[in-house]
Structure 1
């Protein structure tokens, strides 16, 4: 079944509004035979006359009136669709899908989202809680646009992964414990521990920190939610190793933070596809880059 061309519908509307094939041809910048051909094709497709021609005056038939009514709506919808797409191409509005860990979402994204809301209020940000591996996989298959991932990461074909920021990993210790000014692997390995689960980059990072001193402590519990870990530390259940973002609020007074010796850093990167970056996505990348820390 042949589809009806919007150009043919536009021609039909122009004739109905002007009552003349000649005037319609002039308004549409078409040759008169082309206008006649458009109507002939429409009538052949519909199977009925769309216009009546009497004494030089052209008027729609009953069927023509119905088609013209529907055609006006179709053309308006098409124009609106093109306008919406153009606004997205220009970066005035659109949707950006972003993946990040719970820690990044809780402590690093809010400021960026506030800047985006003020500067680009029509851009919708859809945030998914994902591990770095899941984020890179979804970027590669096209179901995400931007990702915040732990570094280092092996190269991924078709993706760009750039360093974004680094934050110190600190010891979070119950305030009533007696702990040194700088926490060492040897001291911490003798304490009950609450650590990130093995699926996270932070887990591997902290395991290496202990292993460099020949230590392999077994935690009391492993979680993948830093705020829950902090709550358990505040309850005195154990100590933990967590990144501390400069924008994060001060910990619960029942918790003390201590720097590590040797120092440890959690590094994050921004990932996106290497192909053409749409304007809304570029706005998000620009805002995140402005918040990069050394």
Structure 2
């Protein structure tokens, strides 16, 4: 059995005749006939019915078609991996990301990528999402990690979801697991002085007819966590932005959950080297980094 035998079988079944299969594979009809005969001889069973009006699979042939297709798909996947690897013997991947994704999502990915492609240089720049977008536009980085959605000038893919959590001083041992809006209305909040996160939280509260009492607005998420730990107020942050969370802080979900979607972005309609597409495959769990089950 060889790959051409399987290709011939699939072509005959899909096209309905030996002559049409020959045209598709750009070989002679005799070559198709020999391939099918060799395959049937090796397996010891007829795979096709031949007649004046074409060819179609026998009952046994019908059962074997999924196996043949799977073998051809695996062969195609092997070819794609080989072709991609041929273009991955050098070069670089330049990444920019906002802090919490750079801290908690990317390091393990970079290690995994460098283990697979040690000759490719990977650089990482940490900045806010607006600056990440500008770096992409200017061609200074290849891939950006940003909250979604973004402008249509970028192609984006979701790679993770991050829940907004309520951080509360752990002074009340009877604090319930499920908070209500009424419980939160009495809290004084320390907000993240960053437009996208703050806007998302305020809009979420407003959607449910609530107002947010803000006492402090801080630039650094680590400062907010420290202030909550000291009992200066409560906070609402994406979980990754709050990590590591001290034991002196109670973590709860909002009464109605809120998430931010973290995505990988590249400039749309721009040509990228194989190394960039390989790192995108790693982030998305596709292609050569698709998980095998």
Matched, 1:114 2:108: no
Q: 2:157–2:284: 8 Å Cα contact kept in structure 1?
A: no
Question: Equivalents in 1 of 2:237, 2:200: separation in Å?
Answer: 11
Question: Equivalents in 1 of 2:255, 2:169: separation in Å?
Answer: 19
**Who is 1:129 aligned against?**
126
Alignment of 1:150-165 (within 5 A): 150-156=147-153, 159-165=154-160
State the TM-score, normalized to the length of structure 1: 0.61
Deviation at 1:190, TM superposition (A): 2.1
Alignment equivalent of 1:182, drawn from 178, 184, 192: 178
Question: Equivalents in 2 of 1:189, 1:268: separation in Å?
Answer: 29
Deviation at 1:164, TM superposition (A): 2.1
Question: Equivalents in 2 of 1:260, 1:241: separation in Å?
Answer: 9
Question: Equivalents in 1 of 2:120, 2:181: separation in Å?
Answer: 45
Give the secondary structure class of the aligned counterpart of 2:236: strand
Question: Equivalents in 1 of 2:277, 2:101: separation in Å?
Answer: 19
Question: Equivalents in 1 of 2:86, 2:138: separation in Å?
Answer: 22
Change (3 A) 1:140 1:186: farther
The CA RMSD over aligned residues, in Å, is 2.7
Matched, 1:192 2:209: no
Larger radius of gyration: 1
Deviation at 1:189, TM superposition (A): 3.4
Question: Equivalents in 1 of 2:218, 2:284: separation in Å?
Answer: 29
Q: 1:102–1:225: 8 Å Cα contact kept in structure 2?
A: no
Give the secondary structure class of the aligned counterpart of 2:246: coil
Deviation at 1:203, TM superposition (A): 1.2
Alignment of 1:189-228 (within 5 A): 189-199=185-195, 201-228=196-223
State the TM-score, normalized to the length of structure 2: 0.61
Matched, 1:256 2:250: yes
**Who is 1:265 aligned against?**
259
Question: Equivalents in 1 of 2:134, 2:109: separation in Å?
Answer: 24
Q: 1:186–1:213: 8 Å Cα contact kept in structure 2?
A: no
Change (3 A) 1:89 1:136: farther
Question: Equivalents in 2 of 1:185, 1:127: separation in Å?
Answer: 40
Q: 2:144–2:266: 8 Å Cα contact kept in structure 1?
A: yes
Q: 2:179–2:254: 8 Å Cα contact kept in structure 1?
A: yes
